[in-house]
């Protein structure tokens, strides 16, 4: 699997450089005890490494949560003063800024964050660039209003509202239209050249979710696009996130053909924390389907329950009667209920893993192998799925992952 953190050799043209390569040389550099890593900052296409005073701790959250970052730069000679200039129809803000690590031994740069300058603060002889994730504005957009809801995603009479796909959308169809038509992302390039969407990851995710047999409808009355992404991610057991080059990525947790992409143990980890809670169990799932918008009524309901429930656990029920995105028919609702119970019938341990630089090539949606000695007779190597990256610390060169065990038996 290709690393989704931005990566580039040597100097580059910011419009055309390829930053998804992963090489043996780069893996070796990250694993080396004597590796030299220098902070890199590219502002509006120009490199300003020698201006950096302090760098941000970067977070990469799942399902459309865009992160912010602050970078402090030297302004003793007033080079950044022009950022304060404003005009009636023009501002110097909003330019693209990339933050990463440069490895001089192999002349390679690992890009960790791509954002735009949303504000500046001048303090004595320095300036702080307040960066916002490249996708933040797009994901913050709302679809429809309470007075004029968007009805394109649901079917009811009169017939002009019937969808081009029929009466329902697959998850991939709904996501693509939300991101391209309403968020304004590029919907014309179905290749890796797409500047907004990681096409390869979307295409793989779309194909995988088609096998779930889900038929969805939706009605949007002011919901943010990030919330709609979260809803579909929850329905499909997926994660969506913005990578180091500012593209939206997609991954299905626990696909059948997944493989471990890296191994972590005491030798290459700073710390490990494992948590387990019976509150994560769901043994009964009730799903409403066939919502009729004009009458505000449901067409039916399906329930899936485990045949045997542990008396020490009790009944833990999940009820899905969401009127923003819902299942079109009983077949789709039952498919979801079966899958949801299969994923959550047993508690799955959660992992908070901090590693050194060797973990910087890993990203959300990947499966890693973890070996711990807590306790040794149980913790043989096990696979965990990375769901969030709450911290990328460029000063200590450490990265922290939040990951979860796969469903029972995986």
Q: What is the pLDDT of residue 373?
A: 67
Q: What is the pLDDT of residue 257?
A: 57
Find the distance separating the first CA and the last CA of the chain, reported in whole Å.
Answer: 19
> By percentage, how much of the chain surpasses pLDDT 90?
40
Q: What is the pLDDT of residue 258?
A: 67
Structural tokens at position 354 = 């901090």
The ranges assigned to domains in the chain are: 6-134, 139-252, 260-276+349-405, 278-344
Q: What is the pLDDT of residue 11?
A: 34
- Over residues 290-305, mean pLDDT: 91
Average pLDDT, the chain: 82
12-16, 224-228, 238-242, 246-250: least confidently modelled range: 12-16
Structural tokens at position 234 = 């929850």
- Three-class SS of the chain: CCCCCEEEECCCCCCCCCCECCCHHHHHHHHCCCCCCEEEEEECCEECHHHEEECCEEEECCCCCCCEEEEEEECCCCCCHHHHCEECCEECCCCEEEEEEEECCCCEEEEEEEEEEEEEEEECCEEEEEEEECCHHHHCCEECCCCCCECCCCCCCCHHHCECCECCECHHHHHHHHHHHHCCCCCCCCCCCCCCECHHHHHHHHHHHHCCCCCEEECECCEEHHHHHHHHHHHHCEEEEECCCCCEEEEECCCCCCCEEEEECCCCEEEEEEECCHHHCCCEEEEEECCECCCCECCEEEEEECCCCCCCCCCCEEEECCCCEEECCHHHHHHHHHHHHHHHCCCCCEEEEEECHHHCCCCCCCEEEECCCCCCCCCCCEEEEEEEEEEEECCCCEEEEEEEECCCCC
Contact 326, 218 (CB under 8 A): yes
**pLDDT confidence band for 60 (50 / 70 / 90):** confident
Contact 60, 5 (CB under 8 A): no
**pLDDT confidence band for 408 (50 / 70 / 90):** low
Contact 180, 138 (CB under 8 A): no
Contact 371, 263 (CB under 8 A): yes
d(CA 248, CA 308): 41
**Closest by CA position to 291, among listed 329, 347, 250:** 329
- Over residues 56-76, mean pLDDT: 82
Structural tokens at position 403 = 């990951």
Could you report the per-residue pLDDT of 156-202, keeping only the tens digit for each? 444 444 444 457 899 999 999 999 999 999 999 999 899 999 999 99
Distance of CA 144 to the CA centre of its chain: 24
Look at 308 and 211; give whichever has higher pLDDT.
Answer: 211
**pLDDT confidence band for 56 (50 / 70 / 90):** confident
Structural tokens at position 320 = 């899905």
**pLDDT confidence band for 24 (50 / 70 / 90):** low
155-169, 204-218, 316-330: least confidently modelled range: 155-169
Look at 349 and 46; give whichever has higher pLDDT.
Answer: 46
> By percentage, how much of the chain surpasses pLDDT 70?
83
Q: What is the pLDDT of residue 146?
A: 87
Query: What is the pairing mode between strands 46-47 and 260-264?
Result: unpaired
Q: What is the pLDDT of residue 8?
A: 42
- Over residues 310-325, mean pLDDT: 85
Q: Is pTM, for the whole model, over 0.85?
A: no
Structural tokens at position 4 = 């989704």
CA atoms in the 13 A half-sphere facing the CB of 46: 4
Q: What is the pLDDT of residue 29?
A: 67
pLDDT for residue 308 is more than 90: no
Could you report the per-residue pLDDT of 97-123, keeping only the tens digit for each? 999 888 888 888 888 888 899 899 999
**pLDDT confidence band for 13 (50 / 70 / 90):** very low
- Over residues 235-249, mean pLDDT: 89
pLDDT for residue 396 is more than 90: no
d(CA 94, CA 116): 5
Angle, vertex CA 342, rays to CA 338 and CA 347, nearest 5 = 140
The CATH code that applies to domain 6-134 is 2.40.10
- Over residues 290-301, mean pLDDT: 92
Q: What is the pLDDT of residue 34?
A: 73
pLDDT for residue 4 is more than 50: no
**Environment class of 50 (CB within 10 Å of its CB; exposed 0-12, middle 13-18, buried 19+):** exposed
- Over residues 217-243, mean pLDDT: 92
Q: What is the pLDDT of residue 409?
A: 41
d(CA 88, CA 210): 49
d(CA 390, CA 410): 25
């Amino acid at each position: 699997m290709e690393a989704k953190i931005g990566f580039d050799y040597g100097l580059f043209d910011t419009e055309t450089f390829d930053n998804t390569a992963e090489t043996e040389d780069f893996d070796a550099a990250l694993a080396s005890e004597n590796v030299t890593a220098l902070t890199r900052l590219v502002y509006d296409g120009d490199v300003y490494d020698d201006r950096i005073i302090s760098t941000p701790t970067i977070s990469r959250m799942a399902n459309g949560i865009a992160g912010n970052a602050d970078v402090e730069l030297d302004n003793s000679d007033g080079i950044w003063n022009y950022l304060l200039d404003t005009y009636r129809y023009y501002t110097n803000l909003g330019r693209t800024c990339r933050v990463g690590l440069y490895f001089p031994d192999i002349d390679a740069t690992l890009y960790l964050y791509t954002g735009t300058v949303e504000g500046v603060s001048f303090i004595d002889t320095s300036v702080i660039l307040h960066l916002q994730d490249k996708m933040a504005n797009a994901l913050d957009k709302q679809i429809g209003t309470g007075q004029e809801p968007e009805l394109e995603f649901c079917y009811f009479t009169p017939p002009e509202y019937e969808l081009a796909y029929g009466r329902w959308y697959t998850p991939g169809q709904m996501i693509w239209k939300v991101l391209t038509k309403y968020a304004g992302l590029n919907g014309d390039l179905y290749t890796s050249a797409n500047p907004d969407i990681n096409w390869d990851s979307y295409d793989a995710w779309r194909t995988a979710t088609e096998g779930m047999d889900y038929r969805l409808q939706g009605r949007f009355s002011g919901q943010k696009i990030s919330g709609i992404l979260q809803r579909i991610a929850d329905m499909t057991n997926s994660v969506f996130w913005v990578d180091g080059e500012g593209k939206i990525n997609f991954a299905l947790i626990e696909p059948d053909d997944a493989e471990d992409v890296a191994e972590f143990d005491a030798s290459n980890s700073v710390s490990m924390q494992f948590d387990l809670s019976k509150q994560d169990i769901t043994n009964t799932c009730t799903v409403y389907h066939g919502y009729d918008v004009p009458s505000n009524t449901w067409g039916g309901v399906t329930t899936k329950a485990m045949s045997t429930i542990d008396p020490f656990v009790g009944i833990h029920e999940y009820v899905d009667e969401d009127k923003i995105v819902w299942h079109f028919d009983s077949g789709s609702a039952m498919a979801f209920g079966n899958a949801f119970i299969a994923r959550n019938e047993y508690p799955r341990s959660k992992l908070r893993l901090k590693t050194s630089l060797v973990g910087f090539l890993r990203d959300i949606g990947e499966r890693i192998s973890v070996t711990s000695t807590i306790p040794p007779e149980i913790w043989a190597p096990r696979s965990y799925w990375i769901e969030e990256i709450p911290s990328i610390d460029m000063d200590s060169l450490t990265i922290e992952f939040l990951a979860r065990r796969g469903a029972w038996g995986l």
